[in-house]
């Protein structure tokens, strides 16, 4: 559970932000909409009845529509007469006849006046007597009616088309036939010289968009190719398709309003009717207006697919495409951060190594979805502090949620571009490629708000969360976070609307998401392990990943037994020899280790000491450690010759290990009475001889190959035995490379020099004190950095030699 703590905190904070603080960021906060959803629908019905269409029993759908251009215009000219006539945030209501093909679309301004009213199809159905066009003008223009003048329609104008104009402010076009109104549209007439460029059309975001699009296309082709070649298990595309179907189903079930709403990257809400498999779908709001301006309504037929293409299909397809392409690019040279993706693409979808990062990513995605809101709140707070200094002149658009979707292809691009870039030979080329990718990512994020600073802040927070996820987990977690953030964006938009009905839909969608994420977390925490098969690039990695709970308990118990057996193989207490003190310890880096020490009596009465280190780590090393211990005990029973003992061990190890594993060993034999010490070194670290009386510290390094590396003949040829004479106060230290190669956090090695210095500071101390001083010094150096290798030390201290020997 521990590794999920951080994502869980982010998710909780994010959901809290969304649920508690979102209302402050809704677009109506400044350009207020006093009506609620029910009021808007009621008003639309009244108006429709007045215009001669009996829509009392028709189905109604409503959403808020923000006109970005109008919003920018009114922010710039707050005193313009248009401010009285228009409001940038309006209600879009669609009334549709149950089972029939007729529908009425109404756009209601903040004060309840209509801005658009349209009956579709124009000629169908029997309609009761309508109202006069002058009455319509009154309804639409409200108190400004006196300012409207009939406009000259010219010769070609159809009969029944009338137009009024409020110069420089607004135009009203009414279409009527046979005394009944078919449509009426009030449009703003912007002052000359006002132009509105949405940021999305700027060059930089355009470039970013092209990169994202091209990146997606390339990635998708690569992913399909990888599938075709069998690099990716069939379960993966099947799983993506299944997830897509399930997700769509859940979204439809969970949010009635979701069906009528499409969230597109332009940030506005476009209202659409999805009339149960009918092609009679009407559009309201910006899109319909744009379509009408171009004279056609032909975009309507695709809208039934629209709600799923944008927020549902795209994240899944993008995730699949980039994961597949990245895997294909990185194939055979995967880094640790890619293993979970590899497992996923091999079809081991339900293994813990896969579901854990996905769960963490999904949790964080909830938090990331709240980032634009958090940033907006930050800026609103700043605005209050600085008293309307214009930090945030316009209300936060829902565009703020766009970066989350833009981030998916951008980071995905990074995901497969990085391993690809890694293949580039030249360093500058690699750096240039990665810089380009980074720039694309930032540019995609930069249009979150219509101001640069909040955009960058939102981007930075999002990036920070993604980066932390990457550090803690891997690429897969980041991809999952991005997809979830985008999926959460839809309910978040619904939640940001002030009307209660829509908010319910948002909550239901969030609940579905939360249930999905909870299921993933459950899998992540309790899911089974992918078999740590040899087919993984690095078996040691697989074994170091946490197994499932029951398995882990069993393994833990077994490891505990193994650890105890190993400790039991080490001498329980140092021998007692007059005039000498001995102290030894062995701390494995993992539960079981490959280090070994032994103190034993040789047949000729001398005291033998050996320290050995088996190559490699973990269980294989531990097994050979026990083998070596057995060989040592067996040969030291009937031989007092160090060279012979080492040769025997080499002989057997060479036969047993086939050179795959080797053992290094340092061995000494002390004659207590005389202080003569014989030593040999089989590929092991040198022996330290501290001579306080002379003030010198020597490293003794007679030649000798490691045990089990080569046949006995060659081993014997290189092995040298040497001898030294101990004096009172001398110390001899045998150690393993776990000490000298220990590193601190900045990857500095402890090294021989620090070891020698530590030993020099222990003159006059007992063996026990010397050993603990060395280990203390080592611990002080590494300062908590995890041990990479087993640490073994044996210290012999000469208190004073028997008199006759001196």
Q: Which is nearer to other proteins, 659 or 761 (CB)?
A: 659
Residue 619 to residue 286: CA distance in whole angstroms: 67
List, in sequence order, the alpha helices (H) in 351-451: 352-369, 371-385, 402-422, 427-445
Residues in region 309-338 near other proteins by CB under 8 A: 336
Contact 705, 719 (CB under 8 A): yes
Binding track, positions 243-282, relative to other proteins; x by CB under 8 A: ----------------------------------------
Residue 102 region by backbone torsions, left for phi larger than 0, else alpha for psi between -120 and 50, else beta: beta
* Minimum distance of other proteins from residue 75's CB (angstroms): 50
* Minimum distance of other proteins from residue 430's CB (angstroms): 12
Which one among 460, 537, 779, 787 touches other proteins, defined by CB under 8 A? Answer: 537
Residue 653 to residue 656: CA distance in whole angstroms: 5
- 718 scored as a contact of other proteins (CB under 8 A): yes
Contact 376, 397 (CB under 8 A): no
* Minimum distance of other proteins from residue 657's CB (angstroms): 9
Residue 652 to residue 445: CA distance in whole angstroms: 64
Q: Which is nearer to other proteins, 143 or 718 (CB)?
A: 718
* Minimum distance of other proteins from residue 617's CB (angstroms): 5
Residues in region 452-511 near other proteins by CB under 8 A: none
* Minimum distance of other proteins from residue 409's CB (angstroms): 28
* Minimum distance of other proteins from residue 401's CB (angstroms): 36
* Minimum distance of other proteins from residue 730's CB (angstroms): 23
Which one among 465, 520, 706, 781 touches other proteins, defined by CB under 8 A? Answer: 706
* Minimum distance of other proteins from residue 89's CB (angstroms): 52
Q: Which is nearer to other proteins, 284 or 612 (CB)?
A: 612
DSSP state of 166: E
The continuous run of DSSP H or E covering 215 comes out as helix 203-228
Q: Which is nearer to other proteins, 28 or 615 (CB)?
A: 615
Q: Which residues contact 721 (CB under 8 A, 6 or more apart)?
A: 642, 643, 678, 679, 680, 702
Phi, psi of 654 (to 5 degrees): -60, -40
- 540 scored as a contact of other proteins (CB under 8 A): yes
* Minimum distance of other proteins from residue 540's CB (angstroms): 6
Residue 422 to residue 416: CA distance in whole angstroms: 10
- 684 scored as a contact of other proteins (CB under 8 A): yes
* Minimum distance of other proteins from residue 716's CB (angstroms): 12
Q: Which is nearer to other proteins, 658 or 803 (CB)?
A: 658
- 685 scored as a contact of other proteins (CB under 8 A): yes
Which one among 737, 774, 777, 781 touches other proteins, defined by CB under 8 A? Answer: 737
Binding track, positions 619-658, relative to other proteins; x by CB under 8 A: ---------------------------------------x
The continuous run of DSSP H or E covering 183 comes out as strand 180-188
Residue 769 to residue 536: CA distance in whole angstroms: 46
Cα distances from 204 to residues 201, 210, 389, 407, 445, in angstroms, run 8, 10, 28, 15, 11
Residues in region 561-620 near other proteins by CB under 8 A: 613-617
Q: Identify the CA nearest to 268 among candidates 84, 113, 92, 505.
A: 92
Q: Using CB under 8 A, which of the segments 92-100, 165-173, 434-442, 684-692 binds other proteins?
A: 684-692
* Minimum distance of other proteins from residue 333's CB (angstroms): 8
**Exposed e or buried b for every residue in 439-476, given b needs 16+ CB within 10 A?**
ebbbbbbbbbbbeeebbbbbbebbbebbebbbebbbbb
Residue 523 to residue 30: CA distance in whole angstroms: 44
Residue 451 to residue 599: CA distance in whole angstroms: 75
Q: How many residues bind other proteins (CB under 8 A)?
A: 36
Q: Using CB under 8 A, which of the segments 217-225, 634-642, 708-716, 754-762 binds other proteins?
A: 708-716
Contact 369, 495 (CB under 8 A): no
Strand-pair category, 103-108 with 721-725: unpaired
Contact 38, 60 (CB under 8 A): no
- 538 scored as a contact of other proteins (CB under 8 A): yes
Which one among 233, 641, 701, 744 touches other proteins, defined by CB under 8 A? Answer: 701
- Reading the block at residue 497, the tokens are 């609307």
Residues in region 738-767 near other proteins by CB under 8 A: 741, 747, 749
Alpha carbon 157 to its chain centroid, in Å, reads: 60
Q: Which is nearer to other proteins, 252 or 537 (CB)?
A: 537
Which one among 7, 114, 324, 704 touches other proteins, defined by CB under 8 A? Answer: 704
Q: Which is nearer to other proteins, 387 or 658 (CB)?
A: 658
* Minimum distance of other proteins from residue 754's CB (angstroms): 14
CA 561, 562, 566: angle at the middle one, nearest 5?
120
- Reading the block at residue 628, the tokens are 């070596």
- 714 scored as a contact of other proteins (CB under 8 A): yes
Q: Identify the CA nearest to 496 among candidates 147, 29, 164.
A: 29
Contact 247, 484 (CB under 8 A): no
Binding track, positions 664-683, relative to other proteins; x by CB under 8 A: x------------------x
- 705 scored as a contact of other proteins (CB under 8 A): yes
* Binding residues for other proteins (CB under 8 A): 336, 537-541, 613-617, 658-662, 664, 683-686, 701, 703-706, 709-710, 714, 718, 737, 741, 747, 749, 788-789
């Amino acid at each position: 559970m521990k590794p999920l703590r951080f994502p869980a905190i982010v998710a909780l904070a994010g959901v809290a932000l969304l649920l508690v603080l979102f209302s402050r960021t809704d677009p109506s906060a400044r350009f207020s909409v006093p009506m609620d959803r029910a009021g808007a629908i009621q008003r639309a019905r009244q108006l429709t009845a007045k215009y001669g269409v009996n829509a009392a029993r028709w189905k109604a759908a409503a959403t808020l529509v923000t006109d970005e251009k109008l919003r920018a215009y009114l922010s710039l000219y707050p005193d313009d007469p248009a401010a009285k006539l228009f409001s940038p945030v309006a209600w879009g209501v669609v009334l549709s006849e149950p089972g029939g093909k007729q529908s009425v679309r109404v756009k209601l301004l903040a004060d309840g006046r209509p801005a658009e009213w349209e009956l579709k199809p124009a000629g169908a159905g029997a309609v009761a007597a309508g109202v006069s066009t002058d009455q319509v003008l009154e309804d639409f223009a409200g108190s400004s009616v006196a300012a409207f003048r009939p406009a000259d329609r010219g010769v070609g104008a159809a009969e029944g088309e009338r137009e009024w104009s409020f110069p420089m402010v607004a135009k009203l076009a009414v279409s009527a036939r046979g005394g009944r109104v078919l449509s009426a549209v009030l449009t703003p007439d912007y002052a000359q010289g006002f132009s509105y460029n949405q940021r999305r059309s700027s060059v930089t975001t355009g470039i970013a968009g092209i990169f994202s699009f091209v990146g997606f296309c390339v990635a998708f082709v690569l992913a399909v190719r990888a599938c075709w070649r069998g690099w990716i298990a069939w379960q993966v595309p099947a799983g993506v398709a299944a997830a897509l179907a399930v997700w769509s189903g859940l979204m439809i079930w969970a949010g009635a309003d979701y069906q009528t709403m499409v969230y597109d990257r332009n940030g506005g809400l476009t209202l659409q009717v999805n009339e149960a498999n009918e092609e009679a779908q009407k559009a309201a709001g910006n899109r319909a207006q744009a379509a009408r301006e171009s004279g056609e309504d032909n975009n309507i037929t695709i809208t039934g697919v629209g709600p799923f293409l944008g927020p549902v299909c795209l994240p899944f397809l993008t995730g699949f495409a980039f994961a597949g392409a990245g895997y294909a690019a990185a194939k055979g040279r995967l880094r640790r951060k890619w293993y979970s993706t590899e497992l996923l693409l091999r079809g081991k979808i339900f293994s813990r190594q896969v579901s854990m990062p996905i769960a963490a990513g999904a949790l964080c995605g909830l938090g990331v979805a709240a980032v634009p809101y958090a940033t907006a709140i930050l800026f609103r707070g700043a605005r209050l502090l600085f008293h309307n200094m214009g930090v945030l002149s316009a209300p936060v658009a829902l565009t703020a949620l766009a970066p989350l979707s833009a981030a998916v292809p951008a980071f995905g691009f990074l995901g497969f571009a990085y391993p690809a870039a890694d293949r580039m030979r030249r360093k500058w080329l690699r750096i240039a490629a990665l810089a380009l990718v980074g720039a694309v990512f930032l540019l995609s994020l930069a249009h979150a708000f219509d101001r640069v600073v909040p955009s960058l802040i939102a981007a930075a927070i999002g990036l920070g969360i993604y980066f932390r996820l990457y550090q803690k987990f891997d690429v897969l977690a980041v991809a999952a976070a991005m997809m979830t953030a985008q999926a959460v964006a839809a309910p978040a938009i619904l939640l940001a609307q002030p009307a209660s009905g829509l908010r319910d839909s948002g909550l239901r969608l969030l609940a579905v998401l939360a249930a999905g994420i909870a299921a993933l977390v459950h899998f992540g925490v309790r899911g089974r392990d992918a078999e740590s098969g040899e087919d993984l690039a690095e078996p040691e990695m697989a074994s170091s990943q946490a197994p499932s709970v029951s398995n882990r308990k069993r393994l833990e118990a077994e490891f505990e037994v193994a650890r105890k057996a190993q400790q039991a193989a080490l001498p329980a207490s140092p021998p007692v020899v007059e005039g000498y003190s001995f102290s030894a310890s062995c701390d494995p880096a993992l539960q079981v280790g490959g280090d070994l020490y032994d103190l034993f009596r040789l047949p000729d009465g001398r005291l033998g000491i050996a320290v050995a280190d088996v190559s490699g780590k973990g269980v294989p090393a531990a097994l050979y450690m026990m083998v070596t211990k057995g060989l040592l005990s067996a040969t030291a029973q009937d031989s007092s010759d160090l060279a012979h003992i080492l040769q025997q061990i080499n002989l057997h190890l060479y036969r047993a290990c086939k050179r795959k594993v080797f053992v290094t060993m340092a061995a000494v034999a002390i004659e207590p009475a005389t202080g003569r010490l014989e030593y040999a070194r089989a590929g092991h670290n040198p022996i330290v001889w501290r001579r306080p009386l002379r003030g010198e510290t020597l490293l003794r390094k007679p030649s000798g190959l490691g045990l089990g590396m080569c046949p006995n003949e060659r081993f014997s040829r290189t092995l040298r035995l040497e001898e030294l004479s101990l004096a009172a106060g001398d110390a001899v230290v045998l150690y393993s490379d776990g000490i000298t190669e220990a590193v601190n956090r900045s990857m500095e090695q402890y090294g021989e020099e620090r070891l020698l210095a530590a030993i020099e500071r222990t003159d006059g101390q007992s063996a026990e004190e010397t050993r603990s001083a060395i280990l203390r010094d080592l611990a002080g150096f590494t300062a908590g950095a995890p041990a990479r290798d087993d640490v073994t030390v044996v210290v012999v201290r000469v208190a004073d030699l028997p008199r006759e020997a001196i």
